[in-house]
Amino acid sequence: MQPQAAPGAIGAASGWRFAAALPLLLWLGACQREVASDAAPPTGGETPVAAVTGLTTHLRNGDLAAFARDAVPASLAGPLDQAWRDGRSRWPLTELPLSGQVPAALAALSAPQAERSLLQAFHRQFAGADRELRSAAIALGVFATQYLEHDGAFSAAERAHYTQLVAATSDWAAQAPLSDRDRARQLIAGLVAAARASGIDSDATLGRAGMTDGLAALSPLFTAVKGELAAYGLDLDLAFDSATVSLVEQTGDRARVRLQYTLAGRPVDAVLEVERLGGRWYVSDFLRHARSAVAADTPAGAAVAH
């Protein structure tokens, strides 16, 4: 089967069309339209390609709540929210690198005198340490690659994709001006302001907010992180905009989709597994992680997040 190009760049999300049946009578048609307007929009994608482009568009827009909504069937939303409130899950934050550091980061950014204390910590540990930071970036890249190769929690598709991400970000970090004092001051000020504006100052506060509201509150902070990384040369939105998605193959309710984009000047070429549930398409790995989050019986922080 020939690959089908996604409609435009990643910023052009696939739109869902709602077809209304022709009313037999005017009053029946009006009733049908009223019901349709009250119905929740479908989750997932109409096609395998749309399942991927839709989620990538949500990340480009900084909309974490929309990502969580469309990554899973609606039937999982309630159980995921309950697991979130119980402290058993922080999905989909666990899909992000270093997600285990999110609680500590929220506390540090929201603490009194956070900007001053974080800047002092930067001066003590990183200011002027260009050579040390470059060496650390290379070493961390090697360690992360080995971790991906040996950790059984990752699927083959995730391992192949994330290994490329590690290579790209490791190369970027080895060249980025991470020890620059002025850039660090701007970075810290921007993130502290965004964290305080979110009203989420701890993991406990995040849990009480519930999954949807908690993610909505964190979305401006996520956008701020993207903006600050772009100032250092790691432009995630540029990567999202460069993405193309195509269908590799489809057999029944299973399909493989190719995702290609450029991150920090390096091409990334990944093949994602997607599946159809209830007539809609979802990325299989995200589904697997979400189901595991619902089934977890230990607090989210007790496990090592990837």
> What is 225-236 written as a DSSP string?
HHHHHHHTT--H
Q: Tell me, yes or no, whether 6 lies in a domain.
A: no
- Report how far residue 110's alpha carbon sits from residue 113's, in angstroms, rounded to the nearest whole number: 9
pLDDT at 214 over 60: yes
pLDDT at 278 over 70: yes
Q: Tell me, yes or no, whether 15 lies in a domain.
A: no
270: containing domain: 26-297
pLDDT at 302 over 60: no
Mean pLDDT of 50-79: 97
Q: Tell me what pLDDT residue 129 has.
A: 81
Q: Tell me what pLDDT residue 137 has.
A: 81
User: How would residue 28 be classed by pLDDT, with cut points 50, 70 and 90?
Assistant: very low
Backbone angles phi, psi at 125, to 5 degrees: -105, -35
Question: Across 29-33, 131-135, 219-223, which has the greatest mean pLDDT?
Answer: 219-223
Q: Tell me, yes or no, whether 14 lies in a domain.
A: no
- Report how far residue 178's alpha carbon sits from residue 190's, in angstroms, rounded to the nearest whole number: 16
Of 96 and 66, the structure prediction assigns the larger pLDDT to 66
Q: Tell me, yes or no, whether 302 lies in a domain.
A: no
Q: Tell me, yes or no, whether 17 lies in a domain.
A: no
pLDDT tens digits for 150-169?
777 889 999 999 999 999 99
Q: Tell me, yes or no, whether 101 lies in a domain.
A: yes
Which residue has 């995730």 as its token pair? 158
pTM confidence score: 0.82
Q: Tell me, yes or no, whether 110 lies in a domain.
A: yes
Mean pLDDT of 259-271: 97
* Tokens, residue 111: 């603490």
Count of domains forming the chain: 1
- Report how far residue 46's alpha carbon sits from residue 128's, in angstroms, rounded to the nearest whole number: 51
Q: Tell me, yes or no, whether 111 lies in a domain.
A: yes
Residue type, 279: G
Average pLDDT of every residue of the chain: 84
pLDDT at 17 over 70: no
